[in-house]
Structure 1
Amino acid sequence: MKMGSALLALAVAFACCPAARAGHQYYDSDVSVYLPGRGASGILNAARRSPDPNAQIGCTIKYGVPTSTYPYPGLTQAYVTCVARNSQGRVDCISVDPVVIDIARAIVPTSFVAFSADESGQCVRLSVSNESAYLP
């Protein structure tokens, strides 16, 4: 009978109290676009849930002839394009650098992505962060 009482007490305790939550969570739903510095940052899933209907951020790895003239027009190659936009504007960049392509491969739906471009549209920085704080 003691086992039954203990189980009943445990059931009552769980029923009365909400589940505890622990761990830092980052809820920023905005894609930030820095037009003067040609930079952008944001979380992929958060952009999708953003109240801004234009919010978008991410990178695409491609193989073929880039549509831009960078860096070798007409040459078939692996390259990455990154884009971010919100209601204030759009920033994008392109790179054939194998290191940048490898970093882009780390992007998952819960990644925090930050990148910047130079004057010619080349990616000069790409950062991908996969942390528990960015999970939905």
Structure 2
Amino acid sequence: MSIADKQQQLLDELDLFQDWTERYEYVIGLGKKLPTMDESLQTEDRLIKGCQSQVWLEAKNEGGIISFLADSDSLITKGMIALFVRILDGEKPDDILTADMSFIDKTGLKEHLAPTRANALNLMSAQMKKYALQLSMTS
């Protein structure tokens, strides 16, 4: 399944909900399903700078495929990073780098977030692309 297909699948799932509070509950649920990040990985160098909450992101290149592990000290933020992990985990670096991440605007979530949290979505996406670029050089 392509990144665009995964994005559309997520948007279709979110469209099932009538209002933004239901969408947020769904996003929080996605965050709760993220694998737990070991505390030893929750280090300063893995923090996404500029986020209101603490968000840790780890990426590995495993045979030309990027795998992401993420966590946050906030349920809604953990859900937001879970959206990106769901879309980009298991993809090739070049596919991540060229992915159109504007799908997040179509979720309708940004309109109901504080500006600092809405900006965090951009920071998360940018950090994942940065890791993909760094790791593309090690494949």
Q: TM-score, normalised by structure 2?
A: 0.21
Structure of higher CA gyration radius: 1
Q: Which has the higher contact order (CA 8 A, sep 6+)?
A: 2
Q: Which has the higher strand share?
A: 1
